[in-house]
Amino acid sequence: MKFSNQNIFLGIWLNEQYREYFPLLTDRKCDFMNPEFLPVNKADVDKRGWDQLDVVIVTGDAYVDHSSFGAAVIGRILEHNGFRVGVIAMPDVADPNSITTLGKPRLFFGVTSGNVDSMLANFTAFKMRRSDDPYAAGGKAGHRPNRALINYCNLIKQVYKDVPIVIGGIEASMRRIAHYDFWSNRLRRSMLEDTRADALVYGMGEKAIVEIADRLDCGKPLAGVDGTVIAQKKPPEGAIILPSEETIMASKNSFIEFYRQFYRYQHRVLVIPAGGRFLVHYPRAPMTTEELDEIFRLPFTRLPHPQYRETIPAYEMIKDSFISHRGCVSGCSFCALTLHQGKRIVSRSAEAVLSEIEQRVKQLDFKGHVKDIGGPSANNYQFNCRLDWRCNRESCTFPELCSNLELNSTDWLELLERASKIQGVKKVTIGSGIRFDLLMLEADAQRLLTSLIRDHISGQLKIAPEHSDPEVLRAMRKSLLFPLEQFIKIYNTINQHLNKKQHLIPYLMSCHPGEGKKQMAAMKLVMEQCFGMIPEQVQAFIPLPMTLSSVIYHTGEDPLTREKFFVEKDAGRRRRQHQIFFKKS
C-alpha cells in the first residue's frame, strides 16, 4: 500500500456551531490547506460533482474526523486510495430512510458499531443501562442500538438487498468467532453470520479495507485477504481446522479446546466449520512504522462535524492526546487490546508524532497542555522483539518476562522531552499511566522515573496493578514483575527529593474469576497499607467477548492451562463483592 507524503494542516470553515471549540473566531475561514469533512448527505456529494459514492461508512458514533475515531480513519484511507466515501453516523434503525441519505454505494457499505462494542456502551458491569454515551453529541445515551452491527446490517438489507456489506471495528473484531456473550449469558456465533455480511475485518483494518475495495472494484473474490473472516464453501489447503461451531455450542470441553487452539494458532489460517460452510480466519498483516506514520498524516480536520451543536465528550478527552504506537505485549486475559491490535508493537516515528503535535498547537483552542503521548498499552512505545514477534507466546510478560522482549522507555521519555520543546507547548503529561513494573526493569529505571516525575506528571500518575491476590493474578494472566510496595517507596522518595506532592492512582478490578469476598477484602487491606488510603479506581470486571477471561467466566477453566478458578456469577453477590472496597473498615 502506498501513501502520499503530504503533511496537511487543519483548515475548516468556522461558523456559529464551532464557537465552543474556537472561542476567538466566529465566521472566519482558517486559510490553511482546508481539508473537507467526508460527505454526510446528498448535498455534500453533489457539491463534489459526484453522481455516486463508492463506499458508505455507517457508524454508531457521532462523526468526528480525527485519527482516534475508527470510521474517520477507514474513510480517509479509502479516500486516499482513490475511492469516493461518505459517512452515515448514528442512523435511526426504526427509519429505513436514515440509511438512504447518501444513496446506494457502488461497491459496499462499511459498517461499525463505533469505537466501543454497543453492549458495553449501553450497559454496565451489573447490566444496568447507562445514561451517557461519550461518543454521542451532548454525551446522551440512546442513539446507539443494542447489538448495533446486526441492527445496522438489517437496516441496510431492508433497502439495498444487493449491496455487499463489510463489517469492522471493535464489535466485529471481538465477536469474529463464536464467543461467550455476558449480556445474554450464552454462547453466540460469529458476528459474520449474525449480520449476514460479506466480509468481517478485524483489528485496525486499514490494509484489509483497501484490498477489499480494490477487489470488489475489479470483481475479484474476497478469499485470502489478511485480517479478515469470510465464509467459504471449501476450506483453504493447509489451514488448521478448529472444532465446529455446532460442537462448541453444545459442549463446554469443545468450547475450551476451541479457544486453546485459537489462541495458539492465530498466526495461521484457521477454519471453523459452521452450518454447512467454513468460516475462514486469515491472520493479520503486520504494519510498518512508515505505513502507520502515513495513516496519521492523512488530511483529518481533527474536529467533530459541524452538524453537531453540542460537544462530544470522547473528542474532548482525546483532542490533546497523541497516539504513539499500537499493540500490547502483555496479553492480560481480561483485555481486548492484544486480540484487536495484536502483540507486535508498531511505533510511529518521533518525527511523525511531533509533527502532529505541531499541527494541534496551531489550532486556536489549544491551551498549551499535551495531556498524553502513548496509547492503550502505555509505555510500550518502541518495545521490540529479538525474534520479530515470531513466537507462539500469548504474552511477553506472563508468567515471566520473555528474554526476547526488548524494553525501551528511553525513546518514549525522549519523545516527551522533544514534545515539551515545541513552541506553544507549555507542558507534556501522561494521562494514560504507565506499566510501572516494566519501566523499573530497565537498566536506567531510576533516571527514567525521575524524569517522568519531575517533568511529565500533573499531580497524579496512573498505574494498573489490578489485584494483589496470586490466584486472581494468575486468572488475569498478569505478573507484577517489580514489587508494588518497592515501586511506591521509590516513587514517594523521588517526589520528596523534588519537593513535589504527586499521588499514585491504581486501577483495580473486582469480580474477576478467581476472586471472592475473601480476596476482595484482602486486596482492600493491601492497597490501604500500600497507599495509605482506599483508592477509588475499582472497576467491576466485564467478560468482554472472545477474551480468555470470558472463557474462564463461562467455563470455570483457563483454556490454555486447564486450571480451574472460582467464578462468581450471581448478580447480587457480584455487586456486594464490588462494594466491599468502599465500606469503612
User: Are residues 477 and 430 part of one domain?
Assistant: yes
| Mean pLDDT (whole number) for 448-468 | 95
Nearest Cα residue to 57 out of 200, 192, 140, 167: 167
User: Are residues 393 and 542 part of one domain?
Assistant: yes
User: Are residues 339 and 443 part of one domain?
Assistant: yes
Our CA dihedral for 161, 165, 169, 174, rounded to 10 degrees, sits at: 90
User: Are residues 394 and 251 part of one domain?
Assistant: no
pLDDT of 6 over the 70 cut: no
The count of other CB atoms within 10 Å of the CB of residue 85 is 24
Residue 19 forms part of a structural domain: no
| Burial of residue 233, with CB atoms counted within 10 A of its CB: 0-12 exposed, 13-18 middle, 19 or more buried | exposed
pLDDT of 438 over the 60 cut: yes
pLDDT digit string, tens, across residues 312-358: 999 999 999 999 999 999 999 999 999 999 999 999 999 999 999 99
pLDDT of 169 over the 80 cut: yes
pLDDT digit string, tens, across residues 120-150: 999 999 999 999 999 999 999 999 999 999 9
pLDDT of 547 over the 80 cut: yes
Final residue of a structural domain among 306, 338, 356: 306
Residue 333 forms part of a structural domain: yes
pLDDT-based confidence at 585, cuts 50/70/90? low
pLDDT digit string, tens, across residues 474-498: 999 999 999 999 999 999 999 999 9
pTM: 0.92
The per-residue pLDDT for 22 is 29
Distance CA 391, CA 385 (A): 10
Q: What CATH number did the domain enclosing 461 receive? A: 3.80.30.20
User: Are residues 251 and 165 part of one domain?
Assistant: no
Distance CA 398, CA 291 (A): 30
| Higher per-residue pLDDT: 13 or 56 | 56
pLDDT of 537 over the 90 cut: no
Note down the domain range covering 389.
320-582
User: Are residues 247 and 209 part of one domain?
Assistant: no
Distance CA 326, CA 343 (A): 9
The per-residue pLDDT for 375 is 87
